[in-house]
Structure 1
């Protein structure tokens, strides 16, 4: 698939950024943290609003973090966050994951979270990550596996939303079940399979506060973000279907026993 054929399914609507801003190094890349050293230089590919990048910068006080994003919009929030937290060893750049504008062997760590699932050519992105990583360095990638999402109870309309989400992601050129494919993409990019460590981890939203937050942002995202616009343009969902899906999310959020689990695949590649 060509690099240009993928479109970011969610866009940068407020409901999307609220979700992304919840992410930290602890809840989104804990598998990487034991490998970090204070003087490392890290590239965070697809950094979004910068919450993971800013958190990672605390682990490398003598090093630095560069957060890269394809569009400038979320970087405004990232810059404000770093200033608010007093984090000085982080900077922000605009760039394309398929063609990183850095010399070979630049970074000790190249990290990406929930990025390659949205790319038209994830193997090419891994080639680029490999190119800019120093020998002896690390490539770390964590991706959702949408098909493995699960929830309780089985609220009417949630299954239809799930199928709609997978259809829309694929219609936009991405791979929603990226979590199970990471090690294969890395191997196809030229990384020795013996140097790839594969793990899994997840998120769970189950408290009343978590359910309210998660269901509200997904109900809003389903009808107001780029997800809705692109779904209609690509013919993967109608206005009526989107409204029903948003209603299902609100119903699920009000379920006393509601529980939502998200499965992620993770890889550490030693270069």
Structure 2
């Protein structure tokens, strides 16, 4: 994880969106299996909002959030300093500083799509889960995203994002590949489900569109796209306006599907 290139980066437009995620919105498939006393490892925890939700559900069990970014680990640590059963650490998903069979649940949300070797990451997650425990992962699928009304700039944005993500070694259509990755990592029992984020209210569309417009213009996505010569500044400005135009359209909808796995030996 330390050597990977993160296509989003940690601009406030990214971390603010990530900090709004909750167990209910992003890990509902796992929630029925979380109970008091379990120990949970949350890899790629970002600003820690899902991690903190786990801590509430499994208390007095312990929860550890791991991320490759020292800055985002520091942010999470500050945000949840008053939560007694949570800790945040900088770490590498390929080489976790954790003994074998240390956690009842090992979780990753929207992480594997950014990795050059998601199967190796899943094998490492398998190493640190206890016998009978669960490795849980949820991954979006950019190719399966859809929206209304049709906006040409959003089609361009998606293709640009997919091109950049793959140039960085990731796989933006990770959702559809997730079950196969889990099987390749050696899991004997893989339960597969899916869920969606849907942006349909006026406010949800505004927030989602503004987040992506800001990413297109100011985040690592913008810098990497310009550095690689995949787009120029004028194109990025046009794509950002396309997002804002979509958000203002009557009857607008954006559907973002994800696949989920509960993997066990």
TM-score by length of 1: 0.95
Q: Is 1:61 aligned to 2:59, yes or no?
A: yes
| Root-mean-square deviation (Å) | 1.3
**Which deviations, in whole Å up to 9, do the C-alpha atoms of 1:79-126 show, x marking residues without a partner?**
23213xx42110000001111111111110000000000011111100
TM superposition shift of 1:4: 7.5
**Which deviations, in whole Å up to 9, do the C-alpha atoms of 1:123-162 show, x marking residues without a partner?**
1100100000111100000000010111110123111111
Q: Is 1:118 aligned to 2:114, yes or no?
A: yes
What is residue 15 of structure 1 aligned with on the other side? Answer: 13
TM superposition shift of 1:236: 2.3
**Which deviations, in whole Å up to 9, do the C-alpha atoms of 1:170-206 show, x marking residues without a partner?**
11110001111111111111111xx100000010011
TM superposition shift of 1:13: 0.2
Alignment of 1:1-271 (within 5 A): 6-83=4-81, 86-192=82-188, 195-271=189-265
Instruction: Provide the rounded CA distance (Å) in 1 between the counterparts of 2:93 and 2:36.
Output: 25
Instruction: Provide the rounded CA distance (Å) in 2 between the counterparts of 1:184 and 1:237.
Output: 33
Gaps of 5+ in 2: none
Query: Does the 8 A contact of 2:40 with 2:62 survive in 1?
Result: yes
Secondary structure of residue in 2 paired with 1:157: helix
Secondary structure of residue in 1 paired with 2:187: coil
Q: What is the count of residue pairs matched by the alignment?
A: 265
Secondary structure of residue in 2 paired with 1:130: helix
TM superposition shift of 1:239: 1.7
TM-score by length of 2: 0.97
